[in-house]
Every structure is written in C-alpha cells, then in structure tokens.
Amino acid sequence: MKLRKMLFVLLVTATVLTASAFGDYEISWHTIDGSGGGLSNGGQYVVMGTVGQAEGGYSAGGQYEVLGGFWPGGPLCTVEFHHYARFADYWLSSGCDAGNDWCGGADLDQMGDVDGVDLGLFVEEWLYWCPYDWPLK
C-alpha cells in the first residue's frame, strides 16, 4: 500500500512538472502610471521600473511587442470590421502563396486558398488584440 501511494505521488508530481514545463506564458495588461521602483525577473526575462519615470511608449523585439499608454493605439490593433472587409475581398480565392502574400493575408492557414478553415481562424481572433504576426494589419 505504501508503494502505491508513493507511485501515485510521483505520477502526480511528474504530470504537474511536465505540464508547467511546456505551458504557454502570458503577460497580463496592467499599468500604474508613474511606474514603480525595483527589479523583477524570472528565467531569462527582466523588468526594471523607477519611481516617477513616465510610462514607456511602443517597444518591439523579435516576436514581442509592448505598448504603454492608452489602449488601443499605436502599432497594436483590435481585430474588427476593416480586417473582415479585407478578408472578405479574398473569400474563396485560390492560388494563394508567398508571391501574393497569401492572398493579402486572408489565407490564414497558408494552405493555398481562403476557405472555412481560414474563417474559423479569423473568428477566433474577432474583437481581440491582433496577434503579433496578424497578416491583415
């Protein structure tokens, strides 16, 4: 019986550690104007604030974007009607490839046509912040 309990504890621990090792990370949207003092870090990421420093503007590097100030604005966007209108211009188009920018970005799955799968991907983003590489910007 003791061996069963120990195996169960090891199995649960391995499951939790595996799930956390492969999980996505998230940066929540928060702002405190005037900043805050101190240094925060976790793994390879470091954030430093100073008291009285104005809130930062737009910053980008690699696949990451950060925008301080009032939302929405700047290079970030919300997926809304003008994106849908652009998507609709290419509805049921075929022959999409890198040469035509995947039918103006409407071929979201880059499978060569604009179809129901692409519409499903579009709807998943509707009224949310545009993903970093949102092709319909």
Q: Is residue 43 part of a domain?
A: yes
Question: In the prediction, which pLDDT does 119 show?
Answer: 95
CB 83 within 8 A of CB 136: yes
Q: Is residue 12 part of a domain?
A: no
Longest Cα–Cα distance of the chain, Å, equals: 66
What is the rounded distance in angstroms from the CA atom of residue 4 to the CA atom of residue 106?
54
Range of the domain at 112: 81-125
- Are 64 and 90 within one domain? no
Question: In the prediction, which pLDDT does 76 show?
Answer: 57
- Are 63 and 88 within one domain? no
Provide the number of structural domains found in the chain.
2
Q: Is residue 133 part of a domain?
A: no
- Are 34 and 64 within one domain? yes
Q: Is residue 112 part of a domain?
A: yes
Tens digit of each residue's pLDDT, the chain (137 residues):
566 666 666 665 666 555 555 566 666 655 555 545 566 777 887 766 555 555 556 677 788 776 655 444 445 578 889 999 999 999 999 999 999 999 999 999 999 999 999 999 999 988 887 877 889 88
Q: Is residue 101 part of a domain?
A: yes
Find where tokens 């060569």 sit. Answer: 112
Of 74, 85, 84, nearest in space to 127 by CA: 84
Question: In the prediction, which pLDDT does 117 show?
Answer: 96
Q: Is residue 94 part of a domain?
A: yes
pTM: 0.48
